[in-house]
Amino acid sequence: MIKRIKVGMASCGLAAGAGEVMDYLKENIDDIELVETGCIGHCYAEPIVEVETDEGSIYYEDVKASEEFLNKILNTEDSSQLEFREERSSKEFVKVTKFAGRLDPVSMDEYLENEGYKPLEKALSMTPEEVVEEVKTSGLRGRGGGGFPTGLKWSFLAAKESEEKILVCNADEGDPGAFMDRSMMESVPHQVMEGMLIAAYATGATQIFIYIRAEYPLAVKNLGIAIEQLKEKGFNDFGDRVIEIKIKEGAGAFVCGEETAMIHSLEGGRGTPRFRPPYPTDSGFKGYPTLINNVETFSNVPVVLREGGEKYAEVGTENSKGTKLFALAGDVKYAGLVEVPMGITIGEIIYDIGGAEKGSIKAVQIGGPSGGCIPEKHFDTPVDYDSLTSLGAIMGSGGLIAISNDRCMVETARYFLDFTTRESCGKCTFCRIGTKRMLEILERITAGEGTLNDIEVLEDLGPKIIDGALCGLGKTAPNPVLSTLRYFKDEYLAHVEEKKCPALQCNNLVNVHLDQDKCIQCTLCIKNCPVNAISDDFVVDNDTCTRCNTCMEVCPVGAIGRVERGETNG
Partner 1 sequence: MGTLKSLEKDQTNLIKALQLEQEENEYISDESIKKIANYFDLPLVEVEGVVSFYAQFKRVKPGKHKISVCDGTACHIKGSPLVLNWVTDELGIKDGETDEKGLFSLETVACLGCCSLAPVMSVDGKVFGKLDRKSLLKILKKYKQGEVEIDD
Residues that bind partner 1 (CB under 8 A): 11-12, 14-16, 43-44, 46, 173-179, 182, 214-217, 248-254, 265-271, 327-331, 335-336, 365, 368-369, 399, 401, 403, 407, 412, 415-416, 419, 425, 528, 530, 546, 548-550, 553-554
Output 18 or 304, the one with its CB closest to partner 1: 18
- Least separation, in Å, of the C-beta of 130 and partner 1? 34
3 state DSSP class of 451 = coil
CB atoms within 10 A of CB 242: 12
CB atoms within 10 A of CB 28: 12
Output 105 or 322, the one with its CB closest to partner 1: 105
- Least separation, in Å, of the C-beta of 262 and partner 1? 12
- Least separation, in Å, of the C-beta of 506 and partner 1? 11
Output 108 or 408, the one with its CB closest to partner 1: 408
Output 271 or 450, the one with its CB closest to partner 1: 271
Distance, CA of 146 to CA of 290 (rounded, Å): 17
Contact 384, 141 (CB under 8 A): no
Closest to 271 (Cα-Cα) out of 248, 294, 293, 289 = 248
Distance, CA of 512 to CA of 526 (rounded, Å): 14
DSSP string, 551-565: HHHH-TT--EEEEET
Rg, the chain, Cα only: 26
Output 402 or 494, the one with its CB closest to partner 1: 402
Output 305 or 361, the one with its CB closest to partner 1: 361
- Least separation, in Å, of the C-beta of 177 and partner 1? 3
Distance, CA of 484 to CA of 333 (rounded, Å): 24
- Dihedral sign from CA coordinates of 467, 379, 361, 315: negative
- Least separation, in Å, of the C-beta of 173 and partner 1? 7
Contact 490, 392 (CB under 8 A): no
- Least separation, in Å, of the C-beta of 20 and partner 1? 11
Output 12 or 25, the one with its CB closest to partner 1: 12
Contact 323, 299 (CB under 8 A): no
Output 46 or 352, the one with its CB closest to partner 1: 46
Burial 101-111 (b: 16+ CB within 10 A, else e): bbbbbbbbebb
